[in-house]
Structure 1
Amino acid sequence: MASANVLRSEWTKIRSVSSTVWTLSLAVVVTVALGMLISALTRNDFGSMSTGDKLAFDPTYVSFAGMSLGQLAMIVFGVLVVSNEYSSGMIRSSLAAVPRRGTFLSSKIAVATLLAFLVGLVTSFAAFFLGQAMLGAHRTSIGDPGVLRAVFGGALYMTLIAVFSMGVAAMLRSPMLSLGILMPFFFLISSILGNVSATKKVGRFLPDQAGQKIMQVVRPFHDDTPYGPWGGLGIMVLWVLAVLAGGFYLLRSRDA
């Protein structure tokens, strides 16, 4: 089967499964709505902030406050895209139709990545503009230094979270096992390692903490992180490439 036909087949699979459509819709709604809420609360509390907090205030990053929950939906999307075929038993038919396993998985990931990026782009720009509207007089402009980079970075971050989840799902194959590892990793382990002084230097190199730097315009006080926004995104890309390599290797080396 030609690569173009494989891509069309994977696109049909993704759009025909309601769960993947709903998770992407939820990612948009949750990220934008929570970002608007946090931005509105921040505007109301701005007057009571300390001088230091006002100087370090990052209106762009505030509008992305909903990203922490929005990424949950992107994780679910990434897992379901890959593992649904294993849980339903369709993987045997898919591999019979596309015996070249590298082509099969790369086509699936390519289509899902493009879709995740488009959704992430819409989400990131919507979160920014609506969040800035909620901030009122404390807002920033898309043309200010570093802001456009941060907004595009938000889309890249959401995309990479989804692709990372695809790689993990390709290795583990089970949706429950994949989510059972990814959810605690991003929402518990990463937070603990990043906030405990003894492990903080390790936690800053985890994919989510490193990747989120791309969405920051103002560097917080006392932030001694040894990399900048693009460096953090680069670290996240390395994590993603590592799990994808693991997924490709295991798909080639074991039975369906």
Structure 2
Amino acid sequence: MMNNQAGSVLITGASTGIGRACALHLVARGFQVFAGVRSPEHAEQLRLASGGRVTTVMLDVTDAAQIDAAVATIRAQTNGQGLRALVNNAGIAVPGPLEVVPIEAFRRQLEVNTLSPIAVTQAFLPLLRESSRPATIVNMGSISGRFTHPLFGPYSASKFALEACSDALRIELSPWGIRVVCIEPGIIATPIWDKTLASSLQMLADVSQARLAPYQPLIDMVKATVKPGMGIPPERVARVVGQAITCRRPRARYVIGLDAYGQLVLIHLPTWLRDWLVRLALPPFGDLAPSKK
């Protein structure tokens, strides 16, 4: 039987990055960890990395049948002790100018980052209510849920919405003692940004050059900025997640990273000043873009 000294926790999107780091950190702290993955290959890699201590479950958070199956699996393996924590970590990023982002891509962004965490939360609330310890829902937000960068409108919209849902849930679930926490990291060194750049280039390849050209300087800037391994290690986020789950009075929000704190400063500036500072950091684009004659 697995070590359940600290209680049980489900982490979605645990194949790589923050989710994987959370799974390894929490199992080391004595949790019975259920890690949601989407492929047998990632499941095997996580089992090996954890010495067989992490239990993987196939979980595409956009698939209702897989969510229901995960509930049944975890209920059977927690022996009536319920679930101490749910970490809604699975997410994607869809970047691009809002004028040209395909609506289907935008819809997918909201489906994965906003609607799916709510669907998973709805499904697992009965198990969270059964926990003998104070249960915690950890929603993996982003500082982009409070500050929007050009070209990241869809991603920010999904995270702004997740912040709002977290605020509502925190009050709605308070009668049962269920705590709701939102993690707000800055840039994290995870594969999401490499995947984002590749998927963005593929998506924008279908947009006519005439519509894309005014934004090309911005796109080129992002391509030059996004580098493999940039950002703080995901293990740092995992430690904060562990703290939020185990502390007596968790904060509603945990901001992580110097870049995130820098953006918090911008949030509190007058809008006109914030917009001016953001534009100042951008290359000329649109009608201001340099001629390529």
Give the alignment's TM-score, normalised by structure 1.
0.34
TM-score, normalised on structure 2? 0.31
- Which fold has the larger relative contact order, with Cα–Cα distance below 8 Å and residues 6 or more apart in sequence? 1
- Name whichever structure is richer in strand by fraction: 2
Indicate the structure with greater helix content: 1
